[in-house]
């Protein structure tokens, strides 16, 4: 089990900040043209462009790019790749 994963957190944040586009909806073959769905997409777009969300996104990027986070990710990678951890992991399951 990984104690830290900055990449997946970043991807999750990006997914939240960028709702599915019309192109991705069209590619999936399902496009909802109901007025309620259109209104919902417009509201989501407005929210994602708000100054608050943009500030939070910048803050999250700063945290993910901090020296401490990078050092913790490097330490976690060392632990995950250590022979002792592999043996324990294989033994446990």
- Give residue 28's pLDDT: 77
pTM above 0.85, yes or no: no
- Give residue 73's pLDDT: 92
- Give residue 23's pLDDT: 60
- Give residue 54's pLDDT: 95
Q: State both tokens at 13.
A: 């944040």
- Give residue 92's pLDDT: 72
For the chain, which ranges sit under pLDDT 70? 1-27, 88-89, 91, 93
Chain centroid to Cα 17, Å, comes to 9
- Give residue 22's pLDDT: 57
Residues 6+ apart with CB under 8 A from 73: 4, 5, 6
């Amino acid at each position: 089990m990984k104690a830290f994963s900055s990449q997946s957190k970043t991807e999750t944040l990006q997914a939240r900040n960028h709702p599915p586009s019309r192109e991705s909806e069209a590619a999936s073959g399902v496009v909802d043209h109901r007025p309620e769905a259109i209104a919902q997409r417009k509201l989501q777009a407005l929210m994602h462009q708000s100054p608050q969300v943009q500030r939070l996104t910048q803050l999250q990027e700063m945290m993910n790019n901090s020296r401490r986070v990078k050092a913790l990710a490097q330490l976690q990678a060392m632990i995950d790749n250590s022979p002792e951890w592999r043996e324990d992991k294989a033994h446990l399951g």
